[in-house]
Structure 1
Amino acid sequence: MMLGKLYLIPTTLGDNEPLEVMPISVKKVVEQIDYYVVENEKTARRFIKKIHPKKAQDSLQIMMLDKYAEEIETRSYLDICAEGISVGLLSEAGVPAVADPGATIVRLAHEKGIQVVPLVGPSSILMAMMSSGMNGQSFAFNGYLPIDAAKRKKTIKDLERLSKEKNQSQIFIETPYRNEKLFTDLKSTLTPSTLLCIAADITLSTEYIKTKHAKDWKQEQPDLHKRPAIFIIHKEY
């Protein structure tokens, strides 16, 4: 018997129609799969219903991948693939396993010889990079910066230095309710000539993407409160 596959299923970045931002192939996979590994059951069920309204909710087998899931439990999540049944890995937003805990399940699939099938969908990190005008040939994603203000400012300076030394754009994110504090620190810490891109609400009707030198951002105060945002910096030679 052939093994089932692990499908990496992207989700929307906000409350918009799934097929506005992803291909029909995602809908076709969701139609076929009843077993899912997810971070949040409620939002996962909502997404599945939105992309395929006719799928019966009681047919879904949901396996949780959150901070409460024990490693010994998650290692059994792909056992069903031995019976030829495929599993879908759903991100909370965007693509699975990038800035997302799903990477542990993908690694498990490789260990078990299960085919991993990534599906096309919106990635806020790549879409921000695409639209920033910065170096798309060399960039690094750094996740979240430190919460402590002093450590955060030091990290900003370190990333700025690294961007100049390697000619490499540096990408990072913040919890939405702390965006404005981070923006304040960026304006006060970055060298005036350093480029800063802010990309918020990507793919939504409220999408906001701008790249300016740090000195020019001091004249502007976009509303970033509780808006999912990507920040990119690049210090030019």
Structure 2
Amino acid sequence: MPGTLFLIPNTLGKRDEADPVLDVIPAGVQQIAARLDYLVAENAKTARAFLKKLGETSPLAHAIQQIEIRELNVNTKANELAALLDPIAAGRDGGLLSEAGVPAVADPGADLVRLAHTRGVPVKPLVGPSSILLAVMASGLNGQSFAFNGYLPVDAGERIKKLRELEHHSRKARQTQVFIETPYRNAALLDALRQHCAGTTLLSIAVDLTLPTETIVTLPVSAWRPDRLALQKRPAIFSLLAQ
């Protein structure tokens, strides 16, 4: 009998060392994560830091040094996925741990989950924070129909083209368009939105979700000013809905 692949959520953003994980990761999820001795994670070092923090509220069943952690990230080749799943397929419970938020959503791991289904390995998603859903919930925009578009193009011309496409589709389908940017380019993205989207288009920006500095603002594009919200080096989710 195969084991179970648990999809383990992580906290969002960098939290204060004194903050427990209990306020964003449910106790039941912590207990499952604390008993596992095999994890697949984007980065082994940060996975160990998560386990150390987890152990403060849910004692680990194994010493951190005894927990096997294998990495799955953008450098992982497709032919390496089977080896990552093999221990679980052989009967050992294991976890796919997100770097931030929930696994396999705007996060590496979807291919491993699909392989688990192909090989008959049970997949168990666990409850935790999703920055995408939290941002949509708090935006006041259309939560009945929305699309996550990931990162927009870095090239300025391509980014403008993509923004116009998203705005057009949003207006036509009444669909909220959600996207993200590397924190140090947030201000440039806001500038592009202000210059190239209609003034009536609603734009919501959510930064530092679940952190003490969390801020969520929704305004028409025409009302946004560069100094309305400090964006530099802060994780942000952008959502727009064209009127």
Tell me which interval the TM-score lies in, with the shorter structure as reference length: over 0.9
Q: Distance in 1 between matches of 2:89 and 2:43?
A: 25
- 2:170 corresponds to 1:163: yes
Instruction: Give the C-alpha shift of residue 80 in structure 1.
Output: 1.3
**3-state SS of 1:7 partner:** strand
**3-state SS of 2:218 partner:** strand
**3-state SS of 1:18 partner:** coil
Aligned to 1:230: 237
Question: Do the aligned partners of 2:74 and 2:108 also contact (CA within 8 Å) in 1?
Answer: no
**3-state SS of 2:238 partner:** strand
Deviations 1:66-124 (A, max 9, x none): 23333322211111123321110001100000001110110111011011000000000
Question: Do the aligned partners of 2:89 and 2:119 also contact (CA within 8 Å) in 1?
Answer: no
Aligned to 1:97: 104
1:41-52 matched pairs, under 5 angstroms: 41-52=44-55
Deviations 1:164-199 (A, max 9, x none): 100000000001111011011111111000000000
Of 191, 195, 199 in structure 1, the residue corresponding to residue 198 of structure 2 is 191
Of 4, 20, 24 in structure 2, the residue corresponding to residue 21 of structure 1 is 24
Judged with a 3 Å threshold, the aligned counterparts in structure 2 of structure 1 residues 12 and 232 are, in CA distance, closer, same or farther, namely same
CA RMSD, 1 decimal: 1.2
**3-state SS of 2:22 partner:** helix
**3-state SS of 2:204 partner:** strand
Q: Distance in 2 between matches of 1:227 and 1:201?
A: 6
Aligned to 2:143: 136
1:19-98 matched pairs, under 5 angstroms: 19-53=22-56, 54-55=59-60, 56-98=63-105
Q: Distance in 2 between matches of 1:30 and 1:232?
A: 32
Aligned length: 235
Gaps of 5+ in 2: none
**3-state SS of 2:150 partner:** strand
One-letter code aligned to 1:7: F
Instruction: Give the C-alpha shift of residue 221 in structure 1.
Output: 3.2
Moved over 6 A (4+): none
**TM-score scaled by length of structure 1:** 0.96
Question: Do the aligned partners of 1:30 and 1:52 also contact (CA within 8 Å) in 2?
Answer: no
